[in-house]
């Protein structure tokens, strides 16, 4: 069942990406194209992650019972890559996109997703980009155990991603004179620094949240299995 779910989620992300790229929006034609938006980057991250999950499942089926040590080594590498991607990118970036988008949208949608975009992006596609990411990643976390990297290396990786994206946003503004997100136009330099710093801290918090949630789910699961294995008292 888990394998089928992963294939279905991967196909849904492929569909969302294809439909999104097919939309002719002015912002797609400017410097950086779709790659200046964290939503698009997150969609690519999620699609690659679930692609690795499906590839891992296929490799596991082919390796099972073969006794080939080289295949088993390659499978372990795939599993390690899958787990690293969930811990460092898929969970924190996915949850960040959903949480920050809907919080700003609820406050003032013009600051993050102007009403003009409704003429280009249908409602179902908006939810595919900004809503379903969360349940999909939670389903993956609940159905499969993932080994998190060391906390220091994990936090270093998510910090690198966060700072890298902030520098990219600043570079796009330097080249074009316009901020990627409308609300950045309406706040001063000091407020932008605070915002960028806060987003980096939030990313780190979400990494830690994912680690705690993963451990809680699987420690609870392990405890339940141990309870079932105990002989029943007469």
Six token digits for residue 207: 């990494």
Longest dimension (CA), the chain: 77
Helix (H) or strand (E) holding 50: helix 38-63
CB 50 within 8 Å of CB 9: yes
User: What does the alpha-carbon distance between residue 152 and residue 204 come to, in Å, rounded to a whole number?
Assistant: 11
In the predicted model, what is the mean pLDDT of the chain?
Answer: 89
Q: How many CA atoms lie within 13 A of 30 on its CB side?
A: 13
Q: How many CA atoms lie within 13 A of 225 on its CB side?
A: 6
| Strand segments (E) across the chain | none
- Identify the pLDDT of residue 70: 78
- Identify the pLDDT of residue 114: 86
What DSSP character marks residue 231? Answer: P
Which single residue is written with the structure tokens 């899958």? 82
Higher pLDDT, 9 or 113: 9
Please, what is the Cα angle at 138 between 134 and 139, to 5 degrees? Answer: 115
User: What does the alpha-carbon distance between residue 134 and residue 37 come to, in Å, rounded to a whole number?
Assistant: 18
What DSSP character marks residue 208? Answer: H
pLDDT band at 224 (very low <50, low <70, confident <90, very high): low
Q: Is pLDDT at 2 greater than 90 in this prediction?
A: no
What DSSP character marks residue 148? Answer: -
CB 59 within 8 Å of CB 75: yes
pLDDT band at 223 (very low <50, low <70, confident <90, very high): low
Q: For residue range 16-39, list pLDDT tens digits in order.
A: 999 998 888 877 788 988 999 999
- Identify the pLDDT of residue 234: 44
- Identify the pLDDT of residue 98: 96
Q: For residue range 81-101, list pLDDT tens digits in order.
A: 999 999 999 999 999 999 999
User: What does the alpha-carbon distance between residue 24 and residue 120 come to, in Å, rounded to a whole number?
Assistant: 8
Higher pLDDT, 209 or 220: 209
pLDDT band at 186 (very low <50, low <70, confident <90, very high): confident
Higher pLDDT, 70 or 22: 22
Q: Is pLDDT at 217 greater than 70 in this prediction?
A: yes
- Identify the pLDDT of residue 137: 95
């Amino acid at each position: 069942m888990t394998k089928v779910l992963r294939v279905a989620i991967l196909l849904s992300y492929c569909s969302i990406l294809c439909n999104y790229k097919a939309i002719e929006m002015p912002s797609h034609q400017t410097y950086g194209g779709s790659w200046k938006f964290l939503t698009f980057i997150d969609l690519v991250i999620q699609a690659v992650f679930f692609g690795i999950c499906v590839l891992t499942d296929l490799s596991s089926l082919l390796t099972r019972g073969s006794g080939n040590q080289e295949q088993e080594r390659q499978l372990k590498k795939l599993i390690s890559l899958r787990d690293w991607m969930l811990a460092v990118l898929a969970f924190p970036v996915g949850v960040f996109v959903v949480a920050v988008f809907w919080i700003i949208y609820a406050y003032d949608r013009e600051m993050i997703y102007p009403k003009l975009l409704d003429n280009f992006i249908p409602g179902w596609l908006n939810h595919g980009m900004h809503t379903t990411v969360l349940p999909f990643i939670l389903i993956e976390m609940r159905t499969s155990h993932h080994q998190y990297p060391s906390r220091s290396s994990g936090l270093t990786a998510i910090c690198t991603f966060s700072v890298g994206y902030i520098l990219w946003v600043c570079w796009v503004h330097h080249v074009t004179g316009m901020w990627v997100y409308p609300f950045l136009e309406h706040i001063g330099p000091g407020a932008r620094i605070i915002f960028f710093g806060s987003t980096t801290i939030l990313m780190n918090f979400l990494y830690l949240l994912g680690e705690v949630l993963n451990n809680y789910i699987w420690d609870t699961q392990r405890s339940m299995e141990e309870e079932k294995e105990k002989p029943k008292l007469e």
